[in-house]
A and B are shown apart, each in its own frame.
Chain A
Amino acid sequence: MKNSNLGAWLAVILGALYFLMPLVATFEFSLRLKRDEYSFEAYRIVLSDPVFQSAFTYSLVLAIVTIVIGILIVVPTAYWVQLRLPKLRPVVEFITLLPLVIPAIIIVFGYIRMYNTSSFLPLTQTVLGTDILLSFGYVALSLPYMYRAVETGMRSIDVGTLTEAAESLGAKWPTILLSVILPNIRSAILSGAFLTFATVIGEFTFASLLNRPTFGPYLQLIGAKRAYEPAALAIIAFVITWACMGLLQVAGGAARHANGAKK
């Protein structure tokens, strides 16, 4: 009993060290821009860099657009599959998992071939077109996370009976989706949204090959040129990711509360 406890603690401590040491080291390093004293100078430089601000804002907007498009595509699809086409579930699941199987670089090369300036839909010809292409690419990339999250949420409520109950009270499809289904899978949608957010903020391949100034390529650029600032940026990226995870936990906690109490 005591031995196994000791072993468990040892594993936890080793694991924590494995994850925390590089992080602590990076953080410590990021504070050493000024000789002989710890300071947040590297952070100040990074945060006041207009390129950082524009790259981060750009990625933020892309992430939000991706989340909105993702929700608009995934929620009605998952709803319809659950309600009317349960036989299609394996097919839809397979399609949503494809982005995990096909490397991003292959997808983006496919896009460039399909939508280049001499194609039938020359999206890459304009900046707006490329942005549209990029955000749809991100929707595809985050499909596995968004669909999984929403589908799990829908399975946890009795979509069929709730729909029928609303129908019998006179509600039509848009009302049912908006006021009955959506609020009850809100935490699932939030989970999907945060995962999408984290994916988009750190994405490099798509943005780089489509030549768009997002946060990912900016991170790479700084890393190639500077010493302390990349470390600060890495910490900033970690904090953002952790904030996402934290929000996910809160949303998940709310869902568990609602589900647990339902019984």
Chain B
Amino acid sequence: MSFLEIKDISKNYGANAVVRNVDLNIDKGEFISLLGPSGCGKTTVLRMIAGFETPTQGTINIDNEDITTINTARRNIGMVFQAYALFPNMTVANNIAFGLKIAGRSSAEIKMRVAEMLDLVKLPALGDRYPYQLSGGQQQRIALARALAISPRVLLLDEPLSALDAKIRVSLREEIRSVQRKLGITTVFVTHDQEEALSMSDRVVVMSEGRIEQLGTPLEIYNQPRTRFVASFVGTLTILSAKIIDSAARRLTICDQPVKSKLSPEGKTGQEISVALRPEAIRIGKPGANSNNLNANVIDINFLGSIMRVKVRCGTQDILLDMFNQSKGKPPAIGSAVTVSFEPDDLVILNA
């Protein structure tokens, strides 16, 4: 039995369906990310779990209790917002104590809990400050401490890192993850940043147009995207058109050159299908015994620091591939003919 169960929920605003038949089971202590572009319904799902929106259809259970129509104040959930939402009129300590005071805890207990929470987010000396005296990263840590102080059953994070600058974002995401692991709290994290979702989560839910496109571990999502949308949204990827030669023997052609895939493509011989390749799965030269090889011409090279992204053209199709920036290896000249190789495992066959 899952701890947080979302059963077939939908949300309509008039004729506009924002969330469509979402089913999701989250285990106790699991860290789940809802990933997707803006307007995909991920935030609405989170807001329905929080109780800020009521589903048009479906139910939400926490620990076998149906909370679908229960008031937010009685759900015992912790929420962290993109805009921090600390109470500007209260000190950091009073912000953290807010939920505890409402729960009617004793002042000694509150004091202890506040200190414990400040330690947890590594800001033990800031209790007397006001929110406006803190940096964005510090404010968001306090917001996390405030949400966790009431020992919520579920922690909901609504793009908590989006308002922060790049460096803080990386360090804070590691910190959120480590706090989440330490407390073992069931967490739902909403983000449009695939790197955040992949690096922090136990499982990732990729959403598009109100539906779940794919649910899986970060590795599965990245390496085996099931749909064209997931493939294009998560990571960089080249989507190519291929022709089925022999479905059973897993033989195809890409720009009229034969290749093999690991899984059998669905379709008739001669049918065009979409396949995808990650830039890091392709190399120039060094063909292996069973690798696929394509003859192509280098048309562009982009220097990205540790890697170089090379664009090659094969027939009418462009393929991206990554080379490590090593002092030994020289990048190929633009216009030169090369053979690019990849393993059948890395050829992803897209369903839609």
Residues of A within 8 A of B (CB): 157-158, 161-162, 164-172, 175, 180, 183-184, 186, 258, 261-263
In the complex, what residue of chain B is closest to A263 when comparing beta carbons? B132
With contacts A184-B88, A261-B132 known, is A169 near B98, CB below 8 A? yes
13 residue pairs from A and B, CB less than 8 Å apart: A158-B83, A161-B83, A161-B85, A164-B72, A164-B79, A167-B52, A168-B73, A168-B79, A170-B102, A180-B87, A180-B89, A184-B89, A262-B132
* Any A CB within 8 A of the CB of B160: no
CB-nearest residue of chain A relative to B152? Answer: A168
Q: B99 in the interface, Cβ–Cβ < 8 Å? A: yes
- Binding site secondary structure of chain B: mixed
Q: Kindly provide the distance from the CB of B104 to the nearest chain A CB, expressed in whole angstroms.
A: 10
Q: Give the A-binding residues of B (Cβ under 8 A).
A: 50-52, 72-79, 81, 83, 85-89, 98-99, 102-103, 130-133, 143, 146-147, 150, 156
Q: Which residues of A contact B156 (CB under 8 A)?
A: 168
On chain A, the residues within 8 Å of B133 by CB distance are 261
CB contacts (< 8 Å) of A158 on chain B: these are 83, 85
Assess the A262–B79 pair: CB atoms within 8 A.
no
* Contact, CB under 8 Å: B132 / A170: no
Within the complex, the shortest CB–CB distance from B89 to chain A, in Å, comes to 4
Once bound together, how far apart are the Cα atoms of A162 and B77, in whole Å? 16
Docked-complex contact B88 and A262, CB < 8 angstroms: yes
Which of B83, B86, B88, B102 is within 8 Å of A171, CB to CB? Answer: B102
- In this complex, what residue of A is CB-closest to B97? A169
Q: A184-B88, A258-B88, A262-B132 are in contact. Are A168 and B50 (CB under 8 A)?
A: yes
Count chain B CB atoms within 10 A of each CB in A168, A170, A172, A262 and give the residue with the most. A168
Q: Which residues of A contact B51 (CB under 8 A)?
A: 167
Which residue on A lies nearest to B86, using beta carbons?
A165
User: Complex formed: what's the CA distance from A258 to B90 in Å?
Assistant: 12
In whole angstroms, what is the CA distance A166 to B102 when docked?
A: 10
Is A164 touching B132 in the complex (CB atoms < 8 A)?
Answer: no
Q: A166 and B98 in contact (CB under 8 A), knowing A161-B83, A180-B87, A262-B131?
A: yes
Once the chains are docked, how many angstroms separate the CA of A165 from the CA of B88?
12
Asked if B52 and A175 sit within 8 Å, CB to CB, the answer is no
Q: A116 to nearest B CB, angstroms?
A: 46
Chain A residues contacting B78 (CB-CB under 8 Å) are 168
The answer to whether A168 and B83 touch across the interface, beta carbons within 8 angstroms, is no
With a CB–CB cut-off of 8 A, which chain B residues contact A169?
A: 98-99, 102, 146-147, 150
Q: Is the CB of A165 within 8 A of B85?
A: yes
The CB with the most chain A CB atoms within 10 A, among B51, B72, B146, is that of B72
Contact yes or no, A168 B72, CB < 8 A: yes
Which residues of chain A have C-beta atoms less than 8 A from B146's C-beta? 165, 169
**Which of A158, A170, A258 is the most central at the interface, judged by chain B CB atoms within 10 Å of its CB?**
A170
Which residues on A sit within 8 Å (CB–CB) of B143? Answer: 165
The 4 closest A-B pairs by CB, nearest first: A169-B99, A261-B132, A183-B89, A165-B85
- Chain B residue at minimum C-beta to C-beta distance from A175: B102
Shortest A240–chain B CB gap in Å is 30
